[in-house]
Amino acid sequence: MSVLNGKKVLLGVSGGIAAYKTASLVRLFIKAGAHVQVIMTPASKDFVTPLTLSTLSKNPVHSSFFNTDDENAVWNNHVDLALWADLMLIAPATANTLSKMVTGNSDNLLIATYLSAKCPVYFAPAMDLDMYKHPSSLQSFDSLKQFGNIMIPAENGELASGLSGEGRMAEPENIIAFLEADLESKLPLKGKKILITAGPTYEAIDPVRFIGNHSSGKMGFDIANEAAKLGAKVILIAGPTHFKVKNSSVEVVNVVSAQEMYDACHQHYNDVDVAIAAAAVADYKPKVVALQKIKKAADEFSIELEKTKDILASLGTIKKNQFLIGFALETQNEIENAKLKIQKKNLDLIVLNSLQDEGAGFKKETNKVTFIDKNFNIEPMELKSKEAVATDILRKVIEHFG
């Protein structure tokens, strides 16, 4: 899955012949899973039509501060456009547009939006070879890079003038590849390997019945998806659940029982940097599993149970440099019980949630957690969506690795 998947991309198109390539560029962004909005300078519409880019981006194209065709003269808010974007790309970036970006000459919607942008800004110059090497152009490149903007260098090739040389805007495929490589290199968990457990375990009574719990697995799946988005290589060991990973780079290991989850965790644990045990593992299992379906006969029926292996404690025992995170779902004496679990299981961090809190627990879209680290520093959090809680958990991982 592309790192551009889900990203909000603001594409600025200025008035050069290379503007015709932006149709392919928008299509590639959409194919990568990005959301695209386009701002065109008035001159760029001589080279590619707003209708083309609107159709491909599935969004209206913006070109002026006001929609003059609208009787109500709706204002295109450059600040809103700038704040919407996760990244801004100006391609083609002509000598004229580059100069305005440097000097702040805000005489069109594109420059006004650029000056309001808080996201990373990339620019792909496009001009004839002598213009590309002119001292004023080179100064624009240097100034924009000093501002923190990122230049996608022009390529060598045939130019509109008939000459051949440097100045041709990078091909759309190469622009996408540049963006993906640059974004991936800056992901905070790039190079980290994370093991995550999710969902319940089912402990068989007979071939058709089991002991289980109400865990849906959503919390673990949200952590896995967010970790992959942040650049980590993720191994998700999942008990029975209907959830599917949104990020195809996540390696999913499906298990059913606590023993299977134990085995899978120990198979991968030595190779990971982080382990996050979000699964609700059964504490007990039937001592004897019937090979055939147990018939309903007696008025009373007893099942002898025995403890399952404690996965989290076993990982804590063999921990080397792994950052080990556990979960605690408590109903009473929450903080003290969580602290005991940190000590007994050699954890670095515990994510505590209480069934006493409204909106927390199994089969909920939200969760309310308290972080407690191995030094017993306590950080209570507000009620949030489980996606937001996943982000908070991974923030702790990022902080750990500095």
Q: What is the pLDDT of residues 15-33, one digit of tens each?
A: 999 999 999 999 999 999 9
pLDDT for residue 299? 85
pLDDT for residue 70? 55
pLDDT for residue 362? 64
Encode pLDDT of 295-322 as tens digits. 888 888 899 999 999 999 999 999 999 9
Residue 359 has pLDDT above 80, yes or no: no
Encode pLDDT of 263-298 as tens digits. 999 999 999 999 999 999 999 999 999 999 988 888
Interacting residues of 225 by C-beta distance below 8 A, sequence separation 6+: 245, 246, 247, 250, 390
Q: Where do we find the tokens 């204002």?
A: 75
pLDDT over 90 percentage in the chain: 81
Which of 200-204, 243-247, 259-263, 345-349 is predicted least confidently? 243-247
d(CA 168, CA 154): 5
Write down the domain spans for the chain.
Answer: 8-185, 193-291+298-400
Nearest C-alpha neighbor of 28 from the set 177, 151, 183, 167: 177
Encode pLDDT of 96-149 as tens digits. 999 999 999 989 999 999 999 999 999 999 999 999 999 999 999 999 999 999
Residue 249 has pLDDT above 90, yes or no: no
d(CA 381, CA 373): 14
* CATH of span 193-291+298-400: 3.40.50.10300
3-class DSSP state of 318: coil
Q: Report the chain's C-alpha Rg in angstroms.
A: 28
Over residues 42-54, mean pLDDT:
96
Q: Do domains 8-185 and 193-291+298-400 have the same CATH topology?
A: yes
Residue 71 has pLDDT above 70, yes or no: no
Q: Where do we find the tokens 């090497």?
A: 133
What mean pLDDT is reported for the chain?
93
Backbone angles phi, psi at 289, to 5 degrees: -105, 120
Burial 147-160 (b: 16+ CB within 10 A, else e): eebbbbebeeeebe
| Cα 139 from chain centroid (whole Å) | 36
Q: Flag whether the pTM goes above 0.85.
A: no
CATH superfamily ID and name for 8-185: Flavin prenyltransferase-like (3.40.50.1950)
pLDDT band at 200 (very low <50, low <70, confident <90, very high): very high
Interacting residues of 106 by C-beta distance below 8 A, sequence separation 6+: 100, 112, 115
d(CA 276, CA 329): 15
Nearest C-alpha neighbor of 285 from the set 213, 196, 197, 217: 213
- Residue 194 parent element (H or E): strand 193-198
pLDDT for residue 333? 86
d(CA 139, CA 78): 27
Residue 369 has pLDDT above 80, yes or no: yes
Residue 92 has pLDDT above 60, yes or no: yes
| Cα 91 from chain centroid (whole Å) | 25
pLDDT band at 158 (very low <50, low <70, confident <90, very high): confident
pLDDT band at 91 (very low <50, low <70, confident <90, very high): very high
DSSP 349-390: EEEEEETTSTT-STT-SEE-EEEEETT--EEE---EEHHHHH
Encode pLDDT of 324-344 as tens digits. 999 998 778 889 999 999 999
Q: Which residues are catalytic?
A: 213
d(CA 162, CA 153): 20
